[in-house]
Amino acid sequence: MTTDVVNIFAPTPDRRVKRGWMNLRVAQVIHETPDTDTFLMVDAEENKRAFDYIAGQYLTFRFDEVADKPVVRSYTMSSSPCQPDTVAFTVKRVEKGLISNWLCDNVRAGSILRARGPIGRFCYDPAHDKKHLFMIAAGSGVTPFVSIMREHANTLGKKGSPEKMTLLVSYRSTKDLICWEDLNALRSVPGCRVIVSLSREHAEKEGFLYGRINESMLADTIAGDYADVTFMSCGPQEMMDLGRNHAISKGVAPEQFKTESFES
């Protein structure tokens, strides 16, 4: 007997797409932290979300008036396909970040952004990934995992979803908890674990770890369960390298460790 392998990235007749550049209108801006905003958008023509996507994918934006020449940047969607009305992306200010800082300074409800997509394979792929999805993030690198965890939280163990999900994420302090309302809610979902470490604040009494993600923290969180795990990591290159080297040293196949890097 053979089992058909479904390519989740292949076009399907029932998947809504919009070709070329879209005009997306910002419906709401959520101030996640003092230096991070989430932008909720609808299609400017249809006044709703007019395309389908896979949790973990990104949109590519074009900015024609920020610099002398058009500037293109890509941002992962922090919303999930199970949220039908809007699509969202989350931006953190960075030092000398041309577009990230411009977005936080200038974009308001009613602003029009030009984008195309969705694009990307930094997603949970049920045809190739393992039953336990282990995610490692720092700062704004958490956004694809917010999308993925929200999308699969209510279908764990069912076709198309992992059996369990673990997120290990590092922030600077309790003032920097991006998408914390969503993540805190996910902590109560059976099969979901969210472990948070703070690199610049001691808050152990509130249930947070202390320090940047390190090998000991990874080992304690995984607790020896490397047999049926797919790793995904998004954040600083040093952190992603640490996670990859740790997993491979424990016998995890290289193809079971996926990374995604952001640019400002």
Could you tell me the residue range of the domain that residue 238 belongs to? 132-260
Q: Beta-carbon neighbour count of residue 164 at 10 Å?
A: 19
| Residue 130, both tokens | 């393992």
**pLDDT at residue 10 tops 90:** no
The pLDDT of 226-254, averaged and rounded, is 96
When pLDDT is averaged across residues 112-135 and rounded to a whole number, the result is: 97
Mean pLDDT of the chain: 94
136 shares its domain with 231: yes
Show which of 119, 140, 164 is a domain's final residue: 119
pLDDT score of 9: 83
The domain tally of the chain equals 2
175 and 95, same domain (yes or no): no
Q: Average the pLDDT over 164-191 and give the result.
A: 97
- Do 150 and 251 share a structural domain? yes
Kindly state whether residues 186 and 94 are assigned to the same domain: no
Residue 7 domain-assigned (yes or no): no
The pTM for the full model equals 0.93
Q: Indicate which CATH number applies to the domain containing 151.
A: 3.40.50.80
* pLDDT score of 5: 61
Q: In this model, does residue 118 exceed pLDDT 50? A: yes
Give residue 264's pLDDT: 42
How far apart are alpha carbons 81 and 49 in whole angstroms?
Answer: 10
The per-residue pLDDT for 6 is 67
Cis peptide before 118 (omega within 30 of 0): yes
Q: Is residue 8 part of a domain?
A: no
Asked if 151 contacts 80 with a C-beta cutoff of 8 angstroms, the reply is yes
Contact 108, 140 (CB under 8 A): no
Please report the beta strands in the chain, taking only residues with DSSP state E, as ranges in sequence order: 22-33, 36-43, 58-63, 71-76, 87-92, 112-119, 132-138, 164-171, 192-198, 209-210, 229-234, 257-260
Q: Kindly state the percentage of the chain with pLDDT values over 90.
A: 88
Residues 239, 144: one domain?
A: yes
Work out the pLDDT band at 19, boundaries 50, 70, 90.
confident
pLDDT digits (tens, 9 = 90+) for 138-168: 999 999 999 999 999 999 999 999 999 999 9
One domain, residues 205 and 144: yes
- Domain of 33, CATH number, reads 2.40.30.10
**pLDDT at residue 84, rounded to an integer:** 86
Span 36-53, pLDDT tens digits: 999 999 999 999 999 999
Whether 4 shows a pLDDT value over 80: the answer reads: no
